[in-house]
Amino acid sequence: QAIDDDCNQTGQLLAAMLDWPQGTFASRVQLEDGAVRVEREVDGGLETLRLRLPAVLTADLRLNEPRYATLPNIMKAKKKPLEVIPGAELGVSGGSARLKVLQVQEPPARAGGEKVENVTELVEKLRHCGRI
């Protein structure tokens, strides 16, 4: 889930294209013989999968503690060359032209709630707006 478009698709798409198993949102990774045990952060808590290698994994922020940058590296960072490679050189065509944004909208504004007097009224209201 990249922080620019928040799509959460790249790892999954890659696994599908390669037809490899996938372990996304990995917060713990343990290599075994020919396989990998992945603990995933899911909405309900943690899920552990065992995937045959080769597999595609995507990392959750809980996977590791980032290293501290060292002072010499901070100074060298400015001088590192930033090489721009056009997609065509890597045999990739189209690129972002394959994605078309159809619509962007805010979530609907939160409407006010309603207070009910008792349970009977609550059930009636819920029936009325088709919730039950």
Q: CA 44, CA 32: separation in Å to the nearest integer?
A: 26
Q: Where are the extended beta strands (E) located within 33-83?
A: 35-42, 45-52, 56-59
* Token code pair at residue 50: 């065992």
* Token code pair at residue 106: 């805010």
Between residue 50 and residue 69, which ones bind other proteins under the rule CB under 8 A? 68-69
Contact characters 14-53, other proteins, x per CB under 8 A: ----------------------------------------
Q: How far is the CB of 72 from other proteins (least distance, A)?
A: 6
Query: Does 104 sit near other proteins (CB under 8 A)?
Result: no
Query: Does 79 sit near other proteins (CB under 8 A)?
Result: no
Q: How far is the CB of 40 from other proteins (least distance, A)?
A: 26
- Binding residues for other proteins, how many (CB under 8 A)? 9
Provide the 3-class DSSP secondary structure of residue 49: strand
Q: CA 90, CA 110: separation in Å to the nearest integer?
A: 47
Q: CA 41, CA 24: separation in Å to the nearest integer?
A: 8
Query: Does 70 sit near other proteins (CB under 8 A)?
Result: yes
Query: Does 128 sit near other proteins (CB under 8 A)?
Result: no
Query: Does 78 sit near other proteins (CB under 8 A)?
Result: yes
Q: Which helix (H) or strand (E) holds 36?
A: strand 35-42
Which residue ranges make up the site for other proteins (CB under 8 A)? 68-72, 74-75, 77-78
